[in-house]
Structure 1
Amino acid sequence: MTSTTDIVAKLWGLCNVLRDDGVTYNEYVTELTYLLFLKMLAEVPDQSGNLRENRLPGDYRWGILAKREGMDQLDYYKKMLLDLGKAKDKLVSAIFTDAQTRLRKPTNLKALTSNIDQLDWFSAREEGLGNLYEGLLEKNASDKKSGAGQYFTPRPLIDCIVRLMQPRAGETIQDPAAGTAGFLVAADRYIKDQTDDLYKLAPDKAHFQRSSAFVGAELVPDTHRLCMMNLLLHGIEGGVDNVDTLSPDGERLAKADLLLTNPPFGAKKGGGRPTRTDFSVTADTSNKQLAFVEHIVRALKPGGRAAVIVPDNVLFEDNAGRRLRSWLMDLCDLHTILRLPTGIFYAQGVKTNVLFFRRGKTDKASTNAVWVYDMRANMPAFGKTRPLAVADFADFEAVYGSDPNGAAARKDQGEQEAGSSAGATGIGKEVRWRMFSRDAITARNDNLDIAWLRDTEAEAEEALTEPEDIAAAIIGHLRAALDEIEALSEEIEPPDSLNTEATVVADAAE
């Protein structure tokens, strides 16, 4: 979409104007969200053909803002943000709650409004304003100076997962860590492609898709604004709340037929535990990724399916981690694990996987076997010069099969090559797809960090040439190490008396 790409480039280029005003990259995208929301409401009609800006209160319109000059414009803009945060319209108030402009110079606001007005909005409408906004979010994530990449799931990975999980009209789809709504938007796009943009559906079912099909949570207020804006521009009315999924608010999220998510990694701030009354397996751990997996299992309807991105430590961590994996494989059919390559997220040292599972009909022995695809070993060094692409997932999608629950006929490539059972050694280096029985996993103490190919991460990182990629790899390793130390210290937490003594020693050392 050439016009959309051009507009995104122009919008991103405006951030250079704001550097002297002390606006950071992420603040810039948030600032643009306020302005683009106002402009796009003036450009986009609703289902009845009326302009969406009619949902704004009083005299707050883009045309009025854009015509003003100097301090009069800046003062009007500040008041506008304040009052829109108190609007009766739920979506408007969600985007503008506690909104404040970072702009201090009237000339910079004028530069933004003038340049936004001059964009090719006719072409943008034709190609989809939602695509334009998603392009801006993706640009922010791909620019390492913004630091947003660690929160942004790559589009090719999202689209691969959605294609395999095959969301359907009428299903409730949840993302408990929605971010900027990448998974929900992709699922909506998939459903619209299957239903002629919902026109094949009865009016009541089409209304459900627009107003109730997508639910979720996003904890960070500024990210929640971007999420709500992205949903709106794709014709989805809300559905994602600004709440903490690991708090009692998470219990109130609607049960899901399909759950797609990339939850945050690391420990809760201050080492706090989840405050969910329904948690049992992870109630005593501050490890967020483990707690999110428990939420996902509990959030699925019977027979519901899920695809969730998790770091490696979810697969091998002992104690709470092992209890969670055993519980997961009892309640769910964990049929597939995709070992993702390194370098596809901003924190290159963080190794990740996608778990595909289905909620079982009973709470016992739901998993009979786990299929593992190794997309990590002997892979290119992904980064700025070699971004992740749709074609990189083609082989995995082929062996996964056409059934979203992993029930399609599958062949263990290790058995095919070695002519023996799944536990055989001497498997060729290009065998990436293998099956492991539940008994074999039990023998591994339920450790699911299964690898049989040489992991060439070190060689891949040696091949990095871009300074930004090299720095990101180093930062990623440091973050991963700190997370492991945090998790270890939690497991061997000493009594209070020893804690006091340790604090004194630490203070003395400092």
Structure 2
Amino acid sequence: MFEQTFKNIDDILHKDAGCTSELDYTEQSSWLLFLKYLAALETDKAVEAALDGKKYKAILDADYRWENWAAPKTPDGKLDHNAALVGPDLIEFVNGKLFPYLHGFKQRATGPDTIEYKIGEIFGEIKNRIQSGYNLREVIDRVDELRFGSQQEKHELSHLYEAKIKNMGNAGRNGGEYYTPRPLIRAMIQVTAPQIGERIYDGAVGSAGFLCEAFDYLSAKPNLSTKDHRTLQTKTFYGKEKKSLAYVIAIMNMILHGIEAPNIVHANTLALHNDDIQEKDRYEIVLANPPFGGKERKEVQQNFPIKTGETAFLFLQHFIKILKAGGRGAIVIKNTFLSNTDNASISLRKLLLESCNLHTVLDCPGGTFQGAGVKTVVLFFVKGAPTRKVWYYQLDPGRNMGKTNPLNDKDMIQFVELQKRFADSAQSWSVDVAAISAKTFDLSVKSPNGGDEVGHRSPQDIMDEIAALDVESAEVLALIRGMVS
């Protein structure tokens, strides 16, 4: 029903000088969708209050409500062209009045877990990029066609929004950063098996795919009480995101999935010193696909016991620390983590094996992450007891993976079923930790059934590591020369 509307919006944005990529289309759609959603939320709250014999106090002042500035209607329900802003007047209002007003909510909000705070945060982080007031009017008219009334409508909108996120990821720039294949996420959730009342955390939240899928998983459980639904809304899903666009997309994605005021914080997770994490800060479940390949500054590395410039390795230390004793983690990471020979990789594998039960390693084939071009594994672990045995599973869908043949839920069925019993098969086997080198803690393992080695490093990986070590050596030499001089 709404698919054509989304396509029309992208077509309009494509011809605007201020929007140059799929990322821009998603960003601009997001803030308008959010305001349209807010109008629907206010209407619902007003009706609920009236049924209870109460008066509803609107979140937004009258001049800034969707039905007054964006889509004023005539008595017969059609757009009132005399009252609707358009052209330069519309741009002037949006940029000069609307955005500053909405940004101000952050200071006026009672706390970060309120919808008011989210309004202020979102409109402090993004700006209107649509340059033509005539294009903006067309987009607003299309967005106004969307409805958030029924669960079916919200469900359809959430699927379309997910498709936009996927397209944005496939478009190139930072592709894998925004989109983790949903079948892989759903399998990770089935293995970690969260329960109502457990808190779920993603410190590299991206588009909030893990949290949205976990919400869908828990919401589908039978016989949920009103208290259970309230717990899911307010005390279950938590995340942090550093980048402004991803933060906005995460908020909108969670809202479309049915979470009114998502507990997503706009912050750099790695800026938190590992020693500052207290028991009250810890979670029962961690699900994440941290960015890999990044290089963190020396001051950020100082927050962690194992110093490394590799972003994903710092995140893994953070996730281990922030899990409660007995907490479960499922983390996507480059497969070369299993075999890298640098000191940081060895130390991190040692930490993982000694402080957690790394019970499962899922080896994903190339092409699982469209556009990312790297092989990955998923680490499944429980914090609090050392690893005795690791179960490996080599995912083999029997076809080349890509945009036309993406990962699907059927591909994951065997993994999920065999993992319950840690069963041996043509694609799975177990390894005792006693057989793993106590010097290198190398976790790359050759399948006893033949096939590729899990975690095997390619010549390019080795060259990249040598280059990284050369850079570190140069930095150390420069530091020594500076101290001598």
Q: The TM-score by the shorter chain falls in which range?
A: 0.7 to 0.9
Match 2:32 to one of 31, 35, 43: 35
Change (3 A) 1:163 1:57: farther
In the alignment, does 2:58 pair up with 1:54?
A: yes
What's the CA shift for 1:249?
6.9
Contact kept? 1:374, 1:451, Cα under 8 Å: no
Change (3 A) 1:193 1:4: farther
Q: Which residue of 2 aligns with 1:158?
A: 185
The one-letter amino acid paired with 2:270 is L
Q: Which residue of 2 aligns with 1:125?
A: 153
Which deviations, in whole Å up to 9, do the C-alpha atoms of 1:109-129 show, x marking residues without a partner? 112112222346667636354
- Between the aligned partners of 2:467 and 2:101, the Cα distance in structure 1 is 43
What's the CA shift for 1:375?
1.6
- Map of 1:431-442 to 2, 5 A cutoff? 431-442=426-437
Q: Which residue of 2 aligns with 1:254?
A: 281
Which deviations, in whole Å up to 9, do the C-alpha atoms of 1:303-345 show, x marking residues without a partner? 1001000002321122111111111111110000000111122
Match 2:195 to one of 163, 168, 173: 168
- Map of 1:276-291 to 2, 5 A cutoff? 276=303, 279-280=304-305, 282=306, 284-291=307-314
- Map of 1:11-410 to 2, 5 A cutoff? 11-18=9-16, 20-44=17-41, 49=47, 54-63=58-67, 64-66=69-71, 67-78=84-95, 79-87=97-105, 88=108, 89-119=116-146, 125=153, 127=155, 129-142=157-170, 144=171, 148-195=175-222, 200-203=224-227, 205-236=228-259, 237-248=261-272, 251=276, 254-270=281-297, 273-276=300-303, 279-280=304-305, 282=306, 284-318=307-341, 319-360=343-384, 362=385, 366-375=386-395, 379-401=398-420, 409-410=421-422
SS of residue matched to 2:239: strand
Change (3 A) 1:129 1:445: same
The one-letter amino acid paired with 1:454 is G
Contact kept? 1:167, 1:258, Cα under 8 Å: yes
Change (3 A) 1:74 1:437: same
The one-letter amino acid paired with 2:322 is A
Structure 1, 332-341 or 48-57: larger mean CA deviation: 48-57
Structure 1, 488-497 or 99-108: larger mean CA deviation: 488-497
- Between the aligned partners of 2:371 and 2:138, the Cα distance in structure 1 is 34
Structure 1, 42-51 or 439-448: larger mean CA deviation: 42-51
Contact kept? 1:264, 1:288, Cα under 8 Å: yes
What's the CA shift for 1:480?
6.5
TM-score w.r.t. length of structure 1: 0.78
- Between the aligned partners of 2:2 and 2:443, the Cα distance in structure 1 is 42
Change (3 A) 1:147 1:245: closer
Change (3 A) 1:147 1:263: closer
- Between the aligned partners of 2:168 and 2:145, the Cα distance in structure 1 is 22
SS of residue matched to 1:306: strand
What's the CA shift for 1:235?
3.2
Contact kept? 1:305, 1:358, Cα under 8 Å: yes
For structure 2, the residue ranges without an aligned partner over 5 or more in a row are 50-55, 72-83, 109-115
- Between the aligned partners of 1:436 and 1:68, the Cα distance in structure 2 is 67
Contact kept? 2:444, 2:453, Cα under 8 Å: no
Contact kept? 2:286, 2:330, Cα under 8 Å: yes
Change (3 A) 1:139 1:47: farther
SS of residue matched to 2:138: helix
Change (3 A) 1:498 1:357: closer
Which deviations, in whole Å up to 9, do the C-alpha atoms of 1:380-439 show, x marking residues without a partner? 2211221111111122112111xxxxxxx33323xxxxxxxxxxxxxxxxx210100011
Change (3 A) 1:355 1:497: closer
What's the CA shift for 1:30?
0.9
- Between the aligned partners of 1:148 and 1:174, the Cα distance in structure 2 is 22
What's the CA shift for 1:355?
0.3
Change (3 A) 1:31 1:398: same
Which deviations, in whole Å up to 9, do the C-alpha atoms of 1:63-113 show, x marking residues without a partner? 212321221111111121122111131111121114311121111111211
- Between the aligned partners of 2:459 and 2:65, the Cα distance in structure 1 is 47
SS of residue matched to 1:194: coil
What's the CA shift for 1:152?
1.1
What's the CA shift for 1:32?
1.0
What's the CA shift for 1:53?
10
Q: Which residue of 1 aligns with 2:74?
A: none
Contact kept? 1:53, 1:61, Cα under 8 Å: no
Contact kept? 1:342, 1:348, Cα under 8 Å: no
- Between the aligned partners of 2:462 and 2:117, the Cα distance in structure 1 is 42
The one-letter amino acid paired with 1:83 is Y
- Between the aligned partners of 2:464 and 2:298, the Cα distance in structure 1 is 11
- Between the aligned partners of 1:165 and 1:260, the Cα distance in structure 2 is 9
Corresponding pairs, count: 441
The one-letter amino acid paired with 1:219 is K
In the alignment, does 2:423 pair up with 1:411?
A: yes
The one-letter amino acid paired with 2:423 is K
Contact kept? 1:248, 1:275, Cα under 8 Å: no
- Between the aligned partners of 2:57 and 2:432, the Cα distance in structure 1 is 57
- Between the aligned partners of 2:215 and 2:46, the Cα distance in structure 1 is 21
Structure 1, 437-446 or 122-131: larger mean CA deviation: 122-131
- Between the aligned partners of 1:497 and 1:260, the Cα distance in structure 2 is 39
Change (3 A) 1:488 1:454: farther
- Between the aligned partners of 1:488 and 1:379, the Cα distance in structure 2 is 37
SS of residue matched to 1:434: strand
Which deviations, in whole Å up to 9, do the C-alpha atoms of 1:18-61 show, x marking residues without a partner? 3x444332122111111111112223455675599932345211
Contact kept? 2:271, 2:300, Cα under 8 Å: no
Contact kept? 2:13, 2:135, Cα under 8 Å: no
Change (3 A) 1:291 1:168: same
- Between the aligned partners of 1:309 and 1:234, the Cα distance in structure 2 is 23
- Between the aligned partners of 1:127 and 1:226, the Cα distance in structure 2 is 16
- Between the aligned partners of 1:246 and 1:228, the Cα distance in structure 2 is 20
Contact kept? 1:266, 1:483, Cα under 8 Å: no
What's the CA shift for 1:168?
1.1
What's the CA shift for 1:293?
1.0
